[in-house]
Amino acid sequence: MDNDHKRSSLQSSRRGFLVAAGGAVAGGSLVARSASAAASVEAGPAPAQNKVEPFFGPHQGGIATAPTQIQTYFAAFDLQTDKLDDIVALLRRWTQTAARLASGGAAAGQPASVLAYDSGETLDLPASRLTITFGFGPTLFEKDGKDRYGLKSKRAEAFIDLPRFAGEQLVEGQTGGDISVQACSDDPQVAFHAVRQLAHVGEGFVSIRWAQSGFFANSAGKTPRNLMGFKDGTFNPPVSSPEAMEKFVWVGGEGPEWMRGGSYVVARRIRIALQHWDRMDLGFQQATIGRSKYSGAPLGAKNESDPFDFAAVDKDGNSVIPLNAHVRLAAPASNDGAQILRRGYSYNNGVSFTAERWPPWRQGIEYDAGTFFICYQRDPRTGFIKIFDTLSKIDALNQFATHVGSGIFACPPGAQPGGYIGDKLFA
Amino acid sequence: MDNDHKRSSLQSSRRGFLVAAGGAVAGGSLVARSASAAASVEAGPAPAQNKVEPFFGPHQGGIATAPTQIQTYFAAFDLQTDKLDDIVALLRRWTQTAARLASGGAAAGQPASVLAYDSGETLDLPASRLTITFGFGPTLFEKDGKDRYGLKSKRAEAFIDLPRFAGEQLVEGQTGGDISVQACSDDPQVAFHAVRQLAHVGEGFVSIRWAQSGFFANSAGKTPRNLMGFKDGTFNPPVSSPEAMEKFVWVGGEGPEWMRGGSYVVARRIRIALQHWDRMDLGFQQATIGRSKYSGAPLGAKNESDPFDFAAVDKDGNSVIPLNAHVRLAAPASNDGAQILRRGYSYNNGVSFTAERWPPWRQGIEYDAGTFFICYQRDPRTGFIKIFDTLSKIDALNQFATHVGSGIFACPPGAQPGGYIGDKLFA
C-alpha cells in the first residue's frame, strides 16, 4: 500500500485546514455555539459552508457536531480479508484520508495534483462541515460463530446484536455490515464524495454492503420537520452539556478501554407509508404522534418545548396524550429515564412496489421514503433496544412505519494525530 | 371534487406570493439576472432561499429558470381514468395547487389551517425557488394502439416515441408515464413536498409510475461538477438569450397551437459505473470526456469556455480530442448544429447488484448512482434523438454509463391565471 502521496497530501491539507477555519478549530467554539441552542440541539442557524469540523479529537465527529449537517451518506462495508493486519492497514489509510477530506482536501483551492488520487467532484466546493464517523459491526468480532480476527474477547458487553423486533421487515442486503462509515455534510456531493474516496482506497479489503443517503430541510434554527410533517428531534440530550453526553452518549469506565469516549450507533431505515399517512385527518395524525403538528407542542400544551403531561385527561376521562401515542412511549418517563441522541434524517429512494402491513392492506407502487433513523447511545441495551422494544409492539405510529434496514455499530473514540480510528482495539 | 378550499387557499397564497417576492415577480427580473451569466447559464451565485419563481407566464417554470435549482424530484404518473373530463378536472386542480406551492403556500408564515389539506413538512421553509413543470407522455395520445382520450389527432408531429438506442437497458417500471411532474427547488424537502401534494390531490385519477430525486452541488457561480468529477453543462443554449431559446428550446409556429411556447423534455436515468470510473487514470478519463478535469477546458485549450478545436492533432497525427470523446460527439458541430438545453442532476439511490456491461464485466454490489439527465428542446427528433443516436453507438463514455430509465414528455406553455396547464390541448 503506497501511502506516501496520501501522507503528503494530508500534511498539505492540514495547512489548508487552518486557513479555512480561520485558526479557530478548537472544540471550544463548538461548545460555545451549541450552548446557545434552545430546546432543539439539532437545529441552528445555517453555518458558513466553508466551516471545517475537526477530525481528530477525543470523540469522533458527526455525533455531537451541532447543528446537525443537513445531508448524510451512510455506508456499511463487509471485510474481504481474513487478516487482522489488513484491517489495521485499512484503518490507518482511512484515518489519513478522512482527515484530509474533513479538512477540505480536494476542495476549493486545491491543486490539480489532487486528481491523482481523488475523483474530484468536490474540487470547487468548500469543506461544508464534513464529518466522517466510523463504527465496527458485531460481525467484526464474531460471524457465524467464528472469531474471524481474534477480536471476540474484546467485544464490549454492551455491544449485543439487535434482537428481532415486532413488525420489522428487514431486508438482508440492507442490514448489518462489518464496518460503518457515515459522512455528514451540508452538501450531498461532499458527503457522498467522502465515502466514495474511502471505498476507493479500501478496494480489495472492503466492499459496500448497503448505503443510504439522507437529508433534512434547512429550517434555519427551528426543529426540522420529518416527512410526516411533524417536528422531529425536539427533546434530545443537549450536545452542549458534557454531563448529558457522558450520561447518555459517551461510553465511560464501564466499557472496554478501546470504546471509552466512543458511542454506539443504531441505524434503521424506516419506510413510511406516506400516501396512507396523507389520507389521515389532522386530529388522527396528532393523536398518533402526541403533538400538535403546527406548533410541535405536546397535546394539551402550548409550546414545542413544554413538558409532557401524560397524566392529563379530558372531561370524559380519556388521556389527552393517548396511551399509544409515539411521544408517550418514546419518552424517558416511559423508559426508566432512558435517552438516546437522535440524529436522524429523511430518505427518499423514489417509489417501489410495497404491501402495506396495516388496514386497508393496500398494495402497489408507493413512495420508498421515510426516516433514516440514526441514534447514538452509551449502551444500546438501555438505549435504543429498551425504548424500541415497547414502541415496536404498541406505538400508534407502527401502522405507517416499517423498519426495512438495520445496523448497529460500535463507534470508537476519536483518533489522535499519528494514531488511527479504533487503534486501541487492535493494540 | 371539492375545489373550494383549494381555491380560497390559492387566493390567500397569492397575497403571500406578492409579499414574499417583494413585488418583483415579473419575468423580466429573471432575464436581467441571467444576462450576467458567463459561459455556463446553469450556475450562478446562491440566490436567496425565499426567492419565489413565478408559476404563471408564457412558459412553464423549471425550464429557463436560472440558476438551476440544486434539488429536484421528478415523477411520472399513469392515469387511472378513461374520461377526458377527469383529466381536465385533474389539471385544473393541479394548476391551482402548483400555483399555491410555488408561491410559498404552506411555507413559513402560513396559518395552521393549511394543515387541513397539506402534509405540512414545509411549514417552516421558504419558497426555495420552487418550480413545477408538467408534461404529457406519448401514452396520453395513444396507448397500445388505442386512442384513449380522443387526443390522438392532436399529437404533435415532433412528439415521437423515443427509439430504442444502442446499449440502453431500460427498466420498464422506470420508464414512460402518461404525465410528468418535475419539481425543482433549492431544498429537497420543498421539491418532494410539491409532488406529494399533487399526487395526493390527484388520488383516484393518477398513480405514480416512477420517481427520482436529483441534486447537484452548490458550487457558487461555477459550472457544477457531476459525479464523474467533470464540469457538466458548460455549453448550453443561454437561457438569457430569447433568440437561442426560440431556436433550440421553445416550440414555435411549426407545432400545434397547444404546444407553442412549450418544450419537449427527455429524462434519462443514467447509471454510472463509478467504481470502474474511479479505477481509471486521469489521462484516460480526460480522453473519454475530451476536457481537462481540473479546469474544464477542452483538451488542447486553456479555459473552460474556450472553443473546441476538433481538427487539432498532436505530433503523431492523433486527434487531441479523441474521435470518440464525449464532447466531440455531443457538440453541435458534430450534429448539424443541434443543441439541447441540458438541465441535468446527479442521482444517488445507494447501492444495488449490477453487472457492468464492459470489460472486465464486473458483477456485484455497486453504486446505484449517476446522472439524472434532463434536457429540453424544441424538437426531440433534431434534439436528443439526433445527438444521442450517435453517442449511444460510439461514445467512449458508454463503457461507464448505462441508461436504465427513460421518459419523453411534451411540456405545454405556461398557464395563465384563470386557465390551467395544457388547456389549449383540451379546448
DSSP string, B342-388: E--EEEEEEEEEEE-SSTT--EEEEEEEEEEEEEEES-TTTTHHHHH
Show the cell assigned to A10: 494530508
B367–A196 C-beta distance less than 8 A: yes
Measured between alpha carbons, how far is A34 from A291 in angstroms, rounded to an integer? Answer: 25
Show the cell assigned to A165: 423486533
Q: Is B90 on the interface with A (CB under 8 A)?
A: no
Kindly state the average pLDDT of the residues B176-190.
97
Residues in chain A, overall count? 427
Q: Which domain covers residue A186, as residue numbers?
A: 4-216
A277–B119 C-beta distance less than 8 A: yes
Show the cell assigned to B230: 467533470
Residue of A122, A223, A278 to mutate when probing chain B, most B C-beta within 10 A? A278
Report cis status (omega within 30 of 0) of the bond before B67: yes
Task: Tell me if A326 is assigned to some domain.
Answer: no
A189–B351 C-beta distance less than 8 A: no
B351–A120 C-beta distance less than 8 A: no
pLDDT value, residue B235: 82
Q: State the average pLDDT for chain B.
A: 88
Measured between alpha carbons, how far is A270 from B77 in angstroms, rounded to an integer? Answer: 25
Report the half-sphere exposure of A235 (CA within 13 A, side-chain side): 19
Whether residue B34 is predicted with pLDDT greater than 80 in this model: the reply is no
Q: Find chain A residues with C-beta within 8 A of B121's C-beta.
A: 217, 225-229
Q: Is A175 on the interface with B (CB under 8 A)?
A: no
Angle subtended by helix axes B188-201 and B84-102, to nearest 10: 150
* Stretch among A171-175, B38-42, B135-139 having the lowest mean pLDDT: B38-42
| CA of B310 vs chain A CAs: smallest distance (Å) | 24
Task: Tell me if A211 is assigned to some domain.
Answer: yes
CA A27 to chain centre: 20
Amino acid at site A167: G
ipTM > 0.90 (yes/no): no
Residue of A112, A208, A367 with shortest CB distance to B351? A208
CA B17, B21, B22, B28 torsion-angle sign:
negative
Nearest to A113 by CA among B115, B294, B52: B294
Measured between alpha carbons, how far is A92 from A178 in angstroms, rounded to an integer? Answer: 17
Whether residue B28 is predicted with pLDDT greater than 70 in this model: the reply is no
DSSP three-state, residue A175: strand
Measured between alpha carbons, how far is B199 from A364 in angstroms, rounded to an integer? Answer: 14
Q: Is A343 on the interface with B (CB under 8 A)?
A: no
Task: Tell me if A39 is assigned to some domain.
Answer: yes
pLDDT value, residue B195: 98
- Based on the structure, what is the number of domains in chain A? 1
Whether residue B15 is predicted with pLDDT greater than 80 in this model: the reply is no
* Residue B47 or residue B62, greater confidence: B62
B116–A365 C-beta distance less than 8 A: no
* Residue B159 or residue B222, greater confidence: B159
Residue A200 CB neighbours (<10 A): 16
pLDDT value, residue B21: 29
Show the cell assigned to B118: 397539506
Q: Which residue has the cell 433513523?
A: A373
Q: Find chain A residues with C-beta within 8 A of B229's C-beta.
A: 115, 119-121, 123
A227–B365 C-beta distance less than 8 A: no
pLDDT value, residue A423: 98
Q: What are phi and psi of A19, to 5 degrees?
A: -65, -50
DSSP three-state, residue B259: helix
Alpha-carbon distance values, A38 to A230, A239, A290, B125, B327 (Å) = 18, 11, 21, 19, 52
Show the cell assigned to B122: 414545509
Q: What is the CA radius of gyration of chain B?
A: 21
**pTM for this structure?**
0.89
Show the cell assigned to B47: 440566490
Q: What are phi and psi of B211, to 5 degrees?
A: -150, 150
pLDDT value, residue B1: 38
Print burial letters for B316-350: b (CB count within 10 Å at least 16), e (below 16): eeebbbbebbbbbbbbeebbeebbbbbbbbbbbbb
| DSSP strands (E only) in A335-421 | 341-342, 345-355, 363-377, 401-411
Whether residue A66 is predicted with pLDDT greater than 50 in this model: the reply is yes
Task: Tell me if A243 is assigned to some domain.
Answer: no
Nearest to B162 by CA among B407, B402, B415: B407
Residue B121 CB neighbours (<10 A): 28
A275–B199 C-beta distance less than 8 A: yes
Residue of A125, A189, A210 with shortest CB distance to B350? A210
Per-position DSSP letters for A122-161, written without gaps between them: TTTS--TT-EEEEEE-GGGT-BTTB-TTS-GGGS-TT-PP
User: What letter does residue A220 receive in the DSSP assignment?
Assistant: T
Whether residue A13 is predicted with pLDDT greater than 50 in this model: the reply is no
Measured between alpha carbons, how far is A351 from B199 in angstroms, rounded to an integer? Answer: 12
Banded model confidence at residue B45, pLDDT cuts 50, 70, 90: very low
Task: Tell me if A141 is assigned to some domain.
Answer: yes
Measured between alpha carbons, how far is B141 from B150 in angstroms, rounded to an integer? Answer: 7
Residue of B119, B173, B275 with shortest CB distance to A229? B119
Per-position DSSP letters for B260-309, written without gaps between them: TT-EEEEEEEEEE-HHHHHTS-HHHHHHHHTB-TTT-PBTT-SSTTSPP-
Q: What are phi and psi of A278, to 5 degrees?
A: -65, -15
Show the cell assigned to B110: 402560513
Banded model confidence at residue A217, pLDDT cuts 50, 70, 90: confident
* Residue B268 or residue A10, greater confidence: B268
Query: Which A-chain residues 242-281 have CB contacts (< 8 A) with chain B?
Result: 274-275, 277-279
Instruction: Report yes or no: B217 and B14 within 8 Å, Cβ to Cβ.
Output: no
DSSP three-state, residue A202: coil
Kindly state the average pLDDT of the residues B53-70.
96
Residue of B173, B275, B282 with shortest CB distance to A115? B282
Task: Tell me if A188 is assigned to some domain.
Answer: yes
pLDDT tens-place string over residues B402-412: 999 999 999 99
Measured between alpha carbons, how far is A219 from A217 in angstroms, rounded to an integer? Answer: 6
Measured between alpha carbons, how far is B150 from B153 in angstroms, rounded to an integer? Answer: 7
Banded model confidence at residue A47, pLDDT cuts 50, 70, 90: low
Task: Tell me if A106 is assigned to some domain.
Answer: yes
Task: Tell me if A409 is assigned to some domain.
Answer: no
Residue of A121, A124, A226 with shortest CB distance to B222? A124
pLDDT tens-place string over residues B282-317: 999 999 999 999 999 999 999 999 999 999 999 999
| DSSP strands (E only) in B44-185 | 71-79, 131-136, 179-185
pLDDT value, residue B357: 85
B222–A119 C-beta distance less than 8 A: no
Q: Is B50 on the interface with A (CB under 8 A)?
A: no
Instruction: Report yes or no: B293 and B285 within 8 Å, Cβ to Cβ.
Output: yes
Banded model confidence at residue A49, pLDDT cuts 50, 70, 90: low
pLDDT value, residue A199: 98
Cβ-Cβ contacts under 8 Å for B158 (sequence gap 6 or more): B251, B254, B255, B264, B378, B379, B380, B381
Residue of B196, B203, B229 with shortest CB distance to A121? B229
Instruction: Report yes or no: A183 and A141 within 8 Å, Cβ to Cβ.
Output: no
Cβ-Cβ contacts under 8 Å for A6 (sequence gap 6 or more): A93, A96, A97, A100, A117, A201
The residues with which A407 forms a beta bridge, in sequence order, are A267
For chain B, give the percent of residues with pLDDT over 70.
Answer: 87
Cβ-Cβ contacts under 8 Å for B295 (sequence gap 6 or more): A112, B302, B303, B304
Largest CA distance in chain A: 74
pLDDT value, residue A34: 29
pLDDT tens-place string over residues A311-368: 999 999 999 999 999 999 999 999 999 999 999 999 999 999 999 888 889 999 999 9
For chain A, give the percent of residues with pLDDT over 90.
Answer: 80
Alpha-carbon distance values, B164 to B146, B168, B169, B389, B406 (Å) = 21, 8, 10, 9, 11
For chain A, give the percent of residues with pLDDT over 70.
Answer: 87
Whether residue B142 is predicted with pLDDT greater than 90 in this model: the reply is yes
B346–A213 C-beta distance less than 8 A: no
* Stretch among A54-58, A409-413, B120-124 having the lowest mean pLDDT: B120-124
Residue A165 CB neighbours (<10 A): 17
Whether residue B87 is predicted with pLDDT greater than 90 in this model: the reply is yes
